Chain A
Amino acid sequence: MINKVVAHADEAIRDIPDNATLMLGGFGLSGIPENCIQALLRKGISGLTCISNNAGVDDFGIGLLLKTRQVKKMISSYVGENAEFERQLLSGELEVDLIPQGTLAERIRAGGAGIPAFFTPAGYGTEVAEGKEVREFHGKMYLMEHWLRADFSLVKAWKGDTAGNLVYRGTSQNFNPMMAAAGKITIAEVEELVPLGELDPNQIHTPGIYVQRIFEGENYEKRIEQKTIR
Chain B
Amino acid sequence: MLDKNGIAKRIAKEVKDGMYINLGIGIPTLVANYIPANLNVVLQSENGLLGIGPFPTEDNIDPDLINAGKQTITMMPGSALFSSAESFGMIRGGHVHLTILGAMEVSENGDIANWKVPGKMVKGMGGAMDLVASANNIIVAMQHCSKDGASKLLPDCTLPITGIKCVKKIVTDMAVLDVLPEGGFKLLERAPGVSVEQIKNATAGKLVIEGDIPEMLI
> A residues touching B (Cβ–Cβ < 8 Å)?
27-31, 53, 76-80, 86, 89-90, 98, 100-106, 108-109, 120-128, 158, 168-178, 205, 222-230
Chain A residues near B128: list those with CB within 8 A. Answer: 100
- Choose from B47, B88, B134, B161 the contact partner of A171 (Cβ within 8 Å): B47
Contact between A222 and B64, CB atoms less than 8 A apart = yes
- Choose from B81, B83, B84, B163 the contact partner of A170 (Cβ within 8 Å): B81
Contact between A30 and B83, CB atoms less than 8 A apart = no
Most A Cβ at <10 Å: residue of B66, B87, B111, B161: B66
Contact between B47 and A122, CB atoms less than 8 A apart = no
Contact between A225 and B48, CB atoms less than 8 A apart = no
Contact between A171 and B49, CB atoms less than 8 A apart = yes
Expressed in whole angstroms, the minimum distance between the Cβ of A126 and any Cβ of chain B is 5
Expressed in whole angstroms, the minimum distance between the Cβ of B59 and any Cβ of chain A is 10
Contact between B88 and A174, CB atoms less than 8 A apart = no
17 of the cross-chain contacts (CB-CB < 8 Å) are A27-B70, A30-B66, A78-B125, A98-B125, A101-B130, A102-B130, A106-B85, A122-B92, A126-B162, A170-B62, A171-B66, A173-B81, A225-B66, A226-B71, A227-B72, A228-B72, A229-B72
Most A Cβ at <10 Å: residue of B47, B54, B58, B82: B47
Contact between A105 and B72, CB atoms less than 8 A apart = no
Binary per-residue interface labels of chain B (18-51) against chain A in the complex, 1 for a CB within 8 Å, 0 otherwise: 0000000000000000000000000001111100
By Cβ-Cβ distance, the 3 closest A-B pairs, closest first, are A102-B88, A102-B130, A170-B64
Total number of B residues with any Cβ neighbor in A under 8 Å? 50
Chain A residues near B92: list those with CB within 8 A. Answer: 102, 106, 120-122
CA distance A167 to B34 in the complex (A): 35
Q: Which of B7-15, B116-124, B175-183, B192-200 contacts A (4 or more CB under 8 A)?
A: B116-124
B63 at the binding interface (Cβ < 8 Å): yes
Beta-carbon nearest neighbor of B54 in chain A: A230
Contact between B72 and A106, CB atoms less than 8 A apart = no
With A98-B124, A228-B55 as known contacts, state yes or no: A174 contacts B133, CB within 8 Å: no
Chain B residues near A106: list those with CB within 8 A. Answer: 85, 88-89, 92
CA distance A124 to B129 in the complex (A): 9
Contact between B55 and A123, CB atoms less than 8 A apart = no
- Choose from B54, B67, B84 the contact partner of A53 (Cβ within 8 Å): B84
Expressed in whole angstroms, the minimum distance between the Cβ of B96 and any Cβ of chain A is 12
Contact between A224 and B84, CB atoms less than 8 A apart = no
CA distance A224 to B91 in the complex (A): 26
CA distance A122 to B129 in the complex (A): 5
Contact between A122 and B82, CB atoms less than 8 A apart = no
CA distance A89 to B121 in the complex (A): 9
Expressed in whole angstroms, the minimum distance between the Cβ of A135 and any Cβ of chain B is 14
Beta-carbon nearest neighbor of B132 in chain A: A122
CA distance A224 to B61 in the complex (A): 9
CA distance A27 to B67 in the complex (A): 10
Expressed in whole angstroms, the minimum distance between the Cβ of A40 and any Cβ of chain B is 22
Contact between A126 and B163, CB atoms less than 8 A apart = yes
- Choose from A104, A177, A223 the contact partner of B83 (Cβ within 8 Å): A177
CA distance A98 to B128 in the complex (A): 12
Chain A residues near B64: list those with CB within 8 A. Answer: 30-31, 158, 169-172, 222
Contact between A100 and B66, CB atoms less than 8 A apart = no
Q: Which residues B64-100 have CB closer than 8 A to chain A?
A: 64-67, 69-73, 81-85, 87-89, 91-92
